[in-house]
Structure 1
Amino acid sequence: MDNWDLFLAPYKQAVDELKIKLKGMRQQFELEDLHSPIEFVTGRVKPKTSILNKSTEKTSHDQIQDIAGLRIMCQFVDDIHSVVKLLRIRTDLNVVEERDYISNKKQSGYRSYHVVVEYPVQTRNGEKEILAEIQIRTLAMNFWATIEHSLNYKYQGQIPTAIGLRLQRAAEAAFQLDEEMSLIREEIQEAQAIFQKK
């Protein structure tokens, strides 16, 4: 491909627009003094080298689902399901695939909920449908996934067995943390509401 900047521009636009819209959803909850299932939102466009590594002869760049990627962080596991429901009813995007790695964790211990959406971007040459992957997870799940990603990079996907076992135990500990926090959710939200009013 000759012009990567031109190719990636609509993906960057999709990430920027979706971040604004998702942050706007959070603000709407806050304005109504309601608990927001969205703690914060991040986004990125996959680097050229990662796209090339993921591409095969059978897969064109346009078929890669996570060139545009967003992460929605939640405080509680139940919030993840609330966010998924909110995404399903939006009319400005179309949910095309869902992968539940919370109920069906990966062998590594990875937990997250992935939603692939089609999002229309308005370009100079007309509308372009962009695929974007939205990963929805708790803060604990995100901490674990960030560490696991770094180790995968260091060991080029071949994490030593001993470290892999420790990672699995850490994933279970992170999930236990989420479970415990869910049990005191009402007290946490009450305390946060009091703190925010000060």
Structure 2
Amino acid sequence: MSESMDIQELKNLKTELTRFMMAYKFALDEMNTKINILKEEFHYIHDYNPIEHVSSRVKSPDGILKKVMRKGHELSLSSIREQVKDIAGIRITCSFISDIYEISEMLKKQKDVKILNCKDYIQNPKPNGYQSLHLIVEIPIFMSDREEHIPVEIQIRTIAMDFWASLEHKIFYKYNKAVPGHLLTELKEAAITAGELDRKMERLHKEMTAIKELENEKTSKQLFLGIDEETFNLPTYLLESLTKKV
């Protein structure tokens, strides 16, 4: 009797573990669908798509255990669910800093997405120079016998920020986190340079957008007045006299 109970307990534990990991996969699928819908809308309807690239992952059981042990949390499913909020993660890469906040606002407006936490490492970079916008959101998933609310971490960053973070990760992995001081200094300087590049590209983007809006306005006026490019470029006083006659 005892042995059969042990077997049943093991089966129940396996079922709960499977459900636990599946729940995060389903939550990731839900959020990816929402982001893909935004990408498709921008692609087919708008002139500009702020989303350059999207990647996602579910943290491995080994990775979850390592984090739980490092943080000193209780080793149980309920404790992990409560304490570890980045089991499911999505990274969105954008061209410009303004895109980051635009996408963030779009996600926040989704009725079934609850914002649990927001950390802005762009306005307040980490001491090592790391920059990104981190959101912890909660999304409902519906299984055969229950509804669960699962957290998903979303990191939104520019291409320059992503390149820096990738390089920093590789260096720390190579040196097993014992990175020489001069490399840490150079990494910090590189982060500052990447930030300056982002701000410069943002200014260029705004300038180009303003020029395009002026050109569109000019084209609209030409069509409305029914005049050609050469006539439209006449001095204002001549153009006004011509359009009055029209």
TM-score of the pair, normalised by structure 1: 0.88
Letter in 1 for 2:102: S
Identify the match of residue 36 of structure 1 among 44, 49, 60. Answer: 49
Of 148-157 and 75-84, the range deviating more from structure 2: 148-157
Question: Hey, what does 1:25 align to over in structure 2?
Answer: 38
Identify the match of residue 13 of structure 1 among 26, 29, 33. Answer: 26
Number of residue pairs matched by the alignment: 191
Identity %: 37
Show structure 1 runs of 5+ residues with no match: 192-198
Letter in 2 for 1:100: D
* SS class of match (1:55): helix
Structure 2 Cα separation of the partners of residues 26 and 71 of structure 1: 14
1:57-136 → structure 2 map (5 Å cutoff):
57-58=72-73, 60-62=79-81, 63-136=83-156
Structure 2 Cα separation of the partners of residues 164 and 5 of structure 1: 41
Question: Hey, what does 1:160 align to over in structure 2?
Answer: 180
Letter in 1 for 2:73: K
Runs of 4+ in structure 1 deviating by more than 6 angstroms, as ranges, are: 187-191
Letter in 2 for 1:128: E
Question: Hey, what does 1:179 align to over in structure 2?
Answer: 199
Letter in 2 for 1:74: C
Structure 1 Cα separation of the partners of residues 110 and 59 of structure 2: 25
Structure 1 Cα separation of the partners of residues 25 and 188 of structure 2: 34
Show structure 2 runs of 5+ residues with no match: 1-9, 213-246
TM-fit CA distance, 1:6? 3.7
- Deviations 1:96-140, CA, capped at 9 Å, x for gaps: 100000010001110000000011111223111111100000011
- Deviations 1:170-195, CA, capped at 9 Å, x for gaps: 1112112211211211576799xxxx
Q: Is the contact between residue 37 and residue 75 of structure 1 (CA under 8 Å) also seen in structure 2?
A: yes
TM-fit CA distance, 1:40? 2.1
Structure 2 Cα separation of the partners of residues 120 and 52 of structure 1: 24
**Greater relative contact order (Cα < 8 A, sep 6+):** 1
TM-fit CA distance, 1:27? 1.3
TM-fit CA distance, 1:12? 1.1
Larger fraction in helix: 2
- Deviations 1:54-87, CA, capped at 9 Å, x for gaps: 1044352212110000011111001111111112
Larger fraction in strand: 1
Of 14-23 and 66-75, the range deviating more from structure 2: 14-23
Aligned-residue CA RMSD (Å): 2.1
